[in-house]
Structure 1
């Protein structure tokens, strides 16, 4: 028992990404506690609105088979789960048939960010100690992974995690693409929704550093990151690529939705007060993220669109696909296109 337990702890801490850590945690909890189901929930709080996502779940079927459930947002989280997330306290209830549901909070930097939910026939004191220990190990290792994935100044995701995160997003798109059962006609009758990648660059940032110093420049970067974090959805991926350059990856949406979202964000940046700088603007280049695209190609396309935006006056939003279309020779039927 002790050897198996130590082996599971070693296996748990060998992982190098959050997804692997979560699946190892659920497998370990089931192995040593013998629950009927175990799930990980995460808080997606934004703008004082609490949203909850079930990141991963493991359920025992017929006492032998296992069934994994993937990421899913909850429309109606249970009151017990919400209470656990809000209070950071363990919540446990038991039904008349002896089935116990238990929610154990997960914290990061002393802030509740999620919960582990257990369904069992009731946990004894030894099982409760084990469960709490596994959750503590998960919290500690999650803190290490979180720090390794984040830019030290802004707290956004760093350049080193970009390839992995975008690859995971594209893989999910491929799975979704293969599961699509709608007819071609149905797809044509609907507006296209795809994922998007945007490259963002602060206009004339070198002048900020030259005129006011790098301390002021760092403050500008930090404030901009805070604006991004509060404006965009918790599910959007926000990266600092280095210097004054950022990369944003969005969930599937129409081109009209992304255009409106980014235009409103640019206006918010214009209206934000930065130290010493009277007015700060950003330029943005956007490219589609298709289910079979290579990350490097998507990044290059967004970079070309960003270059176009900066070469044509800055403080502009440019879509790569529109830019390419506008560069093609026009026929008599073409009426031109407005890029911005």
Structure 2
């Protein structure tokens, strides 16, 4: 019992999702001693549902995916495995013994807020008795409750997007990882560095602001203004990739952190979102437009410098007709704005 309580204490000390996921997978492996424990996140991706493995614990060690900047080491389509599909669709434990040799795979749903958000897979060399399954469910319930609390503290109450505090934590983490990876590359011998190929595509930071939003509140009232913000958040979810992070800063300001992609692709994604907003009919209000400024995230950037550059591009868009998408590097290269040195202590919003 003390052994179990130590794992409970270890899990509940974390306020970081990645550490929480690793803690749950490790605890289940060490207590139940299956062959392996895998923790998957259920993620909608257009017309498909995918399972991203976020943590693994087994005799081969512990592996994890930091979802702020890593790609999952295993991605499965939900319908590629009947046991996973049944676990998610029916929200129940599914046991599969089709592998033979007495081996059995258990899929246990992680459900909260009315949906299954994850699946924990236990691969065992023999069937688990009811006591061990109940223990596994106890840890999963603990994990589920913690996820619900994290979501409540990390999300904007009106739109459901991630909030400003969560953005600060995410951006610090991403910039730190980018800088660390560039340092690692610089330390590689020349031959080894060439094997890594060209520098990978960057993350991108986009700052978005609804045009003339004060007029909407003044003419139609804050109730309709809030509805516009909710609908804008919904359009963001439809327009961006499922792995991109979407935030509301407060007021009519939104931010997206896009996972690594080319300059051409990010321009296309942001322009597609701008057009979708422009063409959408907002109840009572009618047409709403949005201005966007964006910048790549580079090694050595500070959060205030990245935000300042994106904000500079946003205000250029605002001052040159609104309803535009502007890239900070392109504006600097064209001489439209001057490169700026941003003070880390400057409050930009």
TM-score w.r.t. length of structure 1 = 0.88
In the alignment, is residue 197 of structure 1 matched against residue 205 of structure 2? Answer: yes
Contact 2:204 2:259 in 1 (8 A): yes
Contact 1:105 1:114 in 2 (8 A): yes
Q: How is 1:170-181 mapped onto 2 (pairs within 5 angstroms)?
A: 170-174=175-179, 177=182, 178=184
Distance across 2 between alignment mates of 1:55 and 1:145: 17
Unaligned runs of 5+ in 1: 330-340
1:187 aligned residue (181, 186, 198): 198
Contact 1:59 1:68 in 2 (8 A): no
Distance across 2 between alignment mates of 1:321 and 1:213: 38
Distance across 2 between alignment mates of 1:226 and 1:311: 27
Contact 1:240 1:247 in 2 (8 A): yes
Contact 1:301 1:320 in 2 (8 A): yes
In the alignment, is residue 288 of structure 1 matched against residue 296 of structure 2? Answer: yes
1:56 deviates by: 1.4
Distance across 2 between alignment mates of 1:112 and 1:285: 35
Contact 1:195 1:252 in 2 (8 A): yes
In the alignment, is residue 88 of structure 1 matched against residue 117 of structure 2? Answer: no
Distance across 2 between alignment mates of 1:316 and 1:175: 34
1:128 aligned residue (115, 124, 133): 133
Structure 1, 23-32 or 70-79: larger mean CA deviation: 70-79
Cα 1:185–1:104 change in 2 (3 A) is closer
The equivalent residue for 2:241 is 233
1:243 aligned residue (251, 273, 280): 251
Once the two structures are superposed, residues 177-213 of structure 1 have per-residue CA deviations (whole angstroms, 9 ceiling, x without a partner) of 547956289528xxx6211000000000001111111
1:120 deviates by: 1.7
Contact 1:199 1:285 in 2 (8 A): yes
TM-score w.r.t. length of structure 2 = 0.86
Cα 1:164–1:133 change in 2 (3 A) is same
The equivalent residue for 2:163 is 158
Contact 2:239 2:269 in 1 (8 A): no
The equivalent residue for 2:73 is 72
1:276 deviates by: 2.1
1:7 deviates by: 2.8
Distance across 2 between alignment mates of 1:89 and 1:3: 29
Distance across 1 between alignment mates of 2:178 and 2:93: 36
Structure 1, 290-299 or 156-165: larger mean CA deviation: 290-299
Helix, strand or coil at the partner of 2:45: coil
1:69 deviates by: 4.2
Structure 1, 163-172 or 150-159: larger mean CA deviation: 163-172
In the alignment, is residue 8 of structure 1 matched against residue 7 of structure 2? Answer: yes
How many correspondences in the alignment? Answer: 321
Cα 1:283–1:115 change in 2 (3 A) is same
The equivalent residue for 1:333 is none
Cα 1:85–1:297 change in 2 (3 A) is same
Contact 2:239 2:272 in 1 (8 A): no
RMSD between superposed Cα atoms in Å? 2.2
Q: How is 1:1-340 mapped onto 2 (pairs within 5 angstroms)?
A: 2-61=1-60, 66-70=61-65, 71-75=72-76, 77-94=80-97, 95-121=99-125, 122-174=127-179, 177=182, 178=184, 183=194, 186-187=197-198, 193-327=201-335
Contact 1:208 1:277 in 2 (8 A): yes
Cα 1:261–1:15 change in 2 (3 A) is same
